[in-house]
Every structure is written in C-alpha cells, then in structure tokens.
Amino acid sequence: MDYSDLPLINSDDDRYMRMAIVQADIAEANGDVPIGCVIVHDDQIISKAYNQREQLQDPTAHAEVIALTQASAALENWRLHGCTLYVTLEPCAMCAGALVLARIDRLVFGCHDAKTGACGSLYNIVQDSRLNHTVRITSDVLAEACSEQLRTFFRNRR
C-alpha cells in the first residue's frame, strides 16, 4: 500500500507512524491483525515489530511487547527512558502496563480502540498517577489510515 497520499500532521510523528503502518502490513500478510509498532530513541529507530499472535501462537505477541523487548536489547537496558513508542492502535491493558514498566517517555498511537483501549478509551493506565511512572500521549496520528487498515482486514475476514 502507498502511504504517500496521507495528510502530513507532524513531520516526525507522521514519518514514524507511516513506518508503524508498514509493520502492520507485514502482520496482515502473515495472517495477523494489522498492528505495527516502532520505537525511537535519539531520532533513531531502535526497534520495529508487528503483531505475531497467530504466527507464534502466543497471546502476548503484540507488536508493542515485541518492540519493547527489541528496544531493551538494543539499549541494553530495560528502562527505556528517552524513547517514544509509535503504534497504529491504542494499546490494550497488557501493553499499557508494559509501557509503564519499561518507563517509555511518550506514546504516539493512530486510532483509538473502544473495545480494549487502555490509554484513554476504557482506561488510562499509562497516565494513572498512582503508578510509579506516567507516559505522555499523542493520539490520532494518521488515525484514518490506521483505522481503515483494521476495518479492511476485518471486513475481508468475514
């Protein structure tokens, strides 16, 4: 799919979200829900991942979890201070908890998830002041493209 016709929002957020969408394309090509993720540190991509639940038969193989593991390996540290995570769909409770535990500074996501979203839609785990870390959120980056990718996937599956 060509994403060059998508509207420009913020040059960095736009660029990295487009890369996350490409990762989501890989998930879809492998028969999984098209969700993609990239993690950026010091203006460099240190990890990129896509959903692999079907491929690995692992309920925890969400794009965010795989990307967090890769980023920790790249930085040789489980604390991901200074990192921004870009993902095409609002993280679920498991992934939101992992973002807090990893000390991610910023989360940028494409579309909201009214059914399982835990970063504003159903819950806001990443900004719960009772926890030891909070994450800044930017949402709705290329939201229509991210949303359409998911709608098309599920429409084709039915």
Residues acting as catalytic residues: 64
DSSP annotation of 8 = P
Asked if 39 and 67 touch (Cβ cutoff 8 Å), the reply is yes
Nearest-CA neighbor of 32 among 157, 145, 155, 116? 157
Rounded Cα distance between 120 and 33, Å, is: 21
How far is the C-alpha of 24 from the C-alpha of 80, rounded, in Å? Answer: 23
